[in-house]
Structure 1
Amino acid sequence: MSQILNVTLITETFTPEINGVANTLGRLCDGLRLRGHRVELVRPRQNDEINSGAADDLMLCRGWPIPGYPGLQWGQSSMHKLLQRWQRRRPDVLYIATEGPLGLSALRAARRLGIAVISGFHTNFPQYTQQYGMGFITRLLTHYLRWFHNRSRVTLVPSVSQKVELERRGFERIELLSRGVDSQLFNPSRCSQALRESWGLQTGDIGVIHVGRLAPEKNLGLLKTGFEALKSSYPQRTIKLIVVGDGPQRSELEQQIPDAIFCGTLRGEVLATHYASADMFLFPSLTETFGNVVLEALASGLGVVAYDEAAAGQHIRHGHNGALAMPGDETAFVDAARWLLEDSENLRRVRLNARQHASRQGWTAIIDQFERQLRDACPSESSKTLRQTSDKTIRPVSSMPLD
C-alpha cells in the first residue's frame, strides 16, 4: 500500500468561486482525498465565512479585495501562524497555487522549516498587465514570479505552450500537469430545444456561445468582430450570440452587441445545458495558461474556434475537431469561424470529433500524475528520519523573526 501523504494546498481562490483556478484546485483536492491522502487547505475567508483556524484540514486567513475582480481576494500574509501550525503538524509537501502575500508567506515558512514545495503557475499575470494599461510593471512582475517559482522544487504548468514560454523567461524545473473535464456533465445530450427556442433559434440556425469572465484580458473585442463577420458572411442564416459570464466589461459589451443574449454567471447542469444547446464556441483569449472552458466546449460537442495555444493548441487539430488561428492573427481567427459554417458537413464532423476527443480527457489520469509529482517532491524516508531528529531542536516559534 502506498504511503499516505500529508499535503497542504495554499491558494487565494477556491470553490465555490467561479474561475478556472478554483475549479482545478477543487478537483485536485477532492481527488487526493478520495485516494486517502490528508489535504489541508489554506485560503482566505469567503464572504462571511467563520473559522477558528483550529480545524485540521482548513486554515482561513483574512483577505483583501483585488481591484477589478469582485469576489476575488489577496490572502493576508500569515507566516507566523503557518510556522506555528506546521510545527505542530508538519506537512510532507506544500502545493502553492497563487503567488500573492499568502503564497509568499507559505513559501518562506516552508523554507524555514525545510518542507518540500511544489508551485503552480495558474494565472498569466504579466500578460494581464498589458490589458489593464500597466505594462510598465510587466518586467518587475515577471522578475518576482520567476524568483518565487524558482524557489520551489518544481513548477507545474497546464500546457506545453506555457512551459515553453516560462522556460524562455528563465523559469526552472517546469513540469506539465494538464487539466481534465467532466464529460458526463458537459455532454451533447443536454441540448435543450426549449432553451434554443428561447434564444430565437430553430432547426438549422446557429447558436454561437462564449463562456468566461467579461474582462479586458479576454480580448472580447474579437468576439464582437467574429460574430458580426459571421452574420454578414451568412445573411440568409439566423445566428445568435450567447454570452455566459460576468465581469467589468459586461455593460460595455451589452451596448456594443445589443442583439447578443447575456446570461450572467452560470454553473453546474444549467451551464452544461447552455453549452450543449449551442453550435459553436468562440474563444479569442490570448492570456490563458490553459482555458478549462475549451475542454468543456469540446466535451459538449461544439465547433470551437480559438488561437493555437494553451488548451486549444493542446487538444484541437485544425479542421478535425475544431478550428485554430495563429496567436494574434485576428483575420485568421475570423476566417476559421467562417470556415466552420461554409459547409454544414464541416461543422457536423468537427462537433462529432470534438466530443470523441474530450470524452477521453477525464480527471483520473490528471490526479494520478499530480499524486506522483507530490511524491517525487517529498524527502526520502532516510531524510525524513534526519529531519524528525532535527525538528526536536527547532527554536520556539515566538523567538523567530517574521521575515
Structure 2
Amino acid sequence: MKNVTSFSSPGILVDNYPAAQRSLRIAFVTETYPPEVNGVAMTISRIVEGLHARNHDVQLIRPRQDASDAAETGVRFQEVLMRGLPIPRYPNLRMGLPSKRALVQLWSLHRPDVVHIATEGALGWSALQAAIHLKLPVCSDFRTNFHAYSRHYGIGWLYKPIMAYLRKFHNRTQATMVPTEALRRELETGGFKHLNVVSRGVDVQQFSPLRRSQALREQWGVAPDALVAVYVGRIAPEKNLPALIAAFEAISKNDPRAKLVVVGSGPQQAELQQRLPNAIFAGQRKGEDLAAHYASADLFLFPSLTETFGNVTTEAMASGLAVLAFNYAAAAQLIRNGVNGHVVEIDDAAGFVQAAIDMAGDAAGRLRMGEAAAVTAQALDWSSIVGRFEGVLDSVIHRAEQPYRSPIVAPQRRVV
C-alpha cells in the first residue's frame, strides 16, 4: 500500500513511494543450514543474512539439528525448528519430515508475503503444499543434483523418477532459481519452467591469498618450494574421486615431493586414504581455518561432475589458487583457460590428468593464473547476489498480486 503525505499547500497530495524495495515478510524453508558444513548450507546462510540486513522480515524454517539446537528469535531473524532425522551415511546432516499441517497453522497466524523453498525434501514438499493451500506466492531453488547423484550410488534407474519429481515440484512454484545459465538451459530442455539465473558469491574478505600460512605448510611437512595440491569437498562417490586419484598419482611420479591435502569428510574416506596413503586428510574445516587451507596450497584439483555450482571453485579462486576442473558449473562460467585456471571437457579424464601434470610443473604459470583468479573472484560480491535474489522474490509477489488489481484502462481518444 502507498503512503500518502499531505503538504501545507491546500489540496496537494503527493504519493510517498519507497526509495527501494519494500520490506518483505519472507518464509525461508531449508533442510540444511550452518553449522552443517556444505555448499548449500553456506549459500543459504549468506542469502538469509543478506535479506535480513536489507530489513526484510525473515522467518527461517529448518529441521532441528540436535537436542541442543535452539531457535533464535529477534536477534537476527525468527527461526522455526521442525522435526528431522539423520541422513543415511551422513549422520551430521538432517532431513526434514512431512509438516504440512504445522506450516498451514503457522502461516495462517503469521502470513508471509512469499515462501521460498531452498531444498526439495519432505519439509520442502510440505512447504509447497502449505503455500498452495493458503494461496501464497512461492518460489524455489534448484541447488543440488540429486538426479545426478543417483548414478553414483548404484540407483541410476531412479534417474527418471527423480527428475519427474523435481520437475513436478519446481513447476508448481512461480519461479525457480538456478546458479548458472548452462543449468538453466539443461533444465529448460527437461521441461522445467519459470527459471531464473541467480549466481553465487564468495566472501573475498575471508578467502584471500593473504591467508597463506607458512606455519601450516610446515605442519603439513612440505618445503617452502614444494607443490601442495588441495581438494575441498565431500569424500563421496558423486565427487568423481578416481579422477583426483589419477591426477595426483601422475603429479607424484614427476614430483615425489608434491603433497595432496584433502579437506572434508564422507563415506569414501577410508578408501581414499588407502589409495593415497601419503595424502594429508584434514577433515572438515570452517572459517579462517578453511581459508588458510586453501591459500596455503598451490593448486586446486576439483574433479566433480555433479555440482549445480560448486562454491569451492570460487573459494579457491578468491584464495589465489590456479584451479583445475572440468568444463562444468562454476568452472565453466568463470574460468578462462590459461588465464585464471584450466578446464577440460567433461568426458576427457585423460585430459584432466595431463592438465594436472602440466600445471604442477609450471610454477610461474600457476602463480599468474592464481593472481588472475583472485581478481575474477572480486567481482562475485554477495551483496549483488542477494539483490538479484530479492528481485526475483519481488517479481513473484508482483505477479501473484496482479489478479487482485483493477485493470488499467487506457483513456478513449475523442475523434472530432
TM-score normalised by length of structure 1:
0.92
* RMSD between aligned residues: 1.8
Structure 1 residue 54: deviation in Å? 9.2
Residue 207 (structure 1) aligned to one of 228, 231, 237: 228
Alignment of 1:251-266 (within 5 A): 251-266=270-285
Residue 397 (structure 2) aligned to one of 353, 378, 383: 378
Is 1:330 matched up with 2:349?
Answer: yes
Structure 1 residue 344: deviation in Å? 2.7
Conservation of the 8 A alpha-carbon contact between 1:323 and 1:337? no
SS of the residue corresponding to residue 185 of structure 2 reads: helix
Structure 1 equivalent of residue 34 of structure 2:
15
Alignment of 1:185-204 (within 5 A): 185-204=206-225
Structure 1 residue 341: deviation in Å? 3.0
* Structure 1 runs of 4+ with >6 Å offset: 52-56
Is 1:57 matched up with 2:74?
Answer: no
Residue 128 (structure 1) aligned to one of 142, 146, 149: 149
Is 1:223 matched up with 2:237?
Answer: no
SS of the residue corresponding to residue 213 of structure 1 reads: coil
| % identical equivalent positions | 46
Is 1:303 matched up with 2:327?
Answer: no
Is 1:355 matched up with 2:374?
Answer: yes
Structure 1 equivalent of residue 94 of structure 2:
73
Larger deviation: 328-337 or 258-267? 328-337
Deviation string 1:232-269 (CA, Å, 9 cap, x unpaired) is 2x23x621000000111111111110000001111001
Deviation string 1:64-121 (CA, Å, 9 cap, x unpaired) is 2221222222211111111111111111111101111111111011111110111100
SS of the residue corresponding to residue 251 of structure 1 reads: helix
Conservation of the 8 A alpha-carbon contact between 2:202 and 2:314? yes
Structure 2 equivalent of residue 391 of structure 1:
none
SS of the residue corresponding to residue 80 of structure 2 reads: strand
Structure 1 residue 304: deviation in Å? 0.5
Shift in alpha-carbon separation, 1:190–1:54, aligned structure 2, 3 A:
closer
Structure 1 equivalent of residue 196 of structure 2:
175
Structure 1 residue 60: deviation in Å? 1.2
Residue 93 (structure 1) aligned to one of 114, 136, 139: 114
Alignment of 1:19-168 (within 5 A): 19-49=38-68, 57-168=78-189
Q: Which has the larger radius of gyration?
A: 2
In 2, the alpha carbon distance for the partners of 1:372 and 1:176 equals 11
SS of the residue corresponding to residue 290 of structure 2 reads: helix
Conservation of the 8 A alpha-carbon contact between 2:239 and 2:303? yes
Shift in alpha-carbon separation, 1:108–1:382, aligned structure 2, 3 A:
closer
Conservation of the 8 A alpha-carbon contact between 2:227 and 2:297? yes
Is 1:271 matched up with 2:290?
Answer: yes
Shift in alpha-carbon separation, 1:231–1:54, aligned structure 2, 3 A:
closer
Deviation string 1:160-190 (CA, Å, 9 cap, x unpaired) is 2211211121111111111000111111111
Amino acid aligned to 1:331: A
Conservation of the 8 A alpha-carbon contact between 2:299 and 2:360? no
Amino acid aligned to 1:97: A
SS of the residue corresponding to residue 259 of structure 2 reads: strand
Aligned residues: 384
Structure 1 residue 203: deviation in Å? 2.6
Larger deviation: 179-188 or 41-50? 41-50
In 2, the alpha carbon distance for the partners of 1:331 and 1:52 equals 49
In 1, the alpha carbon distance for the partners of 2:242 and 2:186 equals 25
Structure 1 residue 36: deviation in Å? 0.4
Shift in alpha-carbon separation, 1:43–1:319, aligned structure 2, 3 A:
same
Structure 1 residue 317: deviation in Å? 0.5
Conservation of the 8 A alpha-carbon contact between 2:137 and 2:400? no
Shift in alpha-carbon separation, 1:381–1:265, aligned structure 2, 3 A:
closer
In 2, the alpha carbon distance for the partners of 1:311 and 1:323 equals 12
- Gaps of at least 5 residues in structure 1 are 387-403
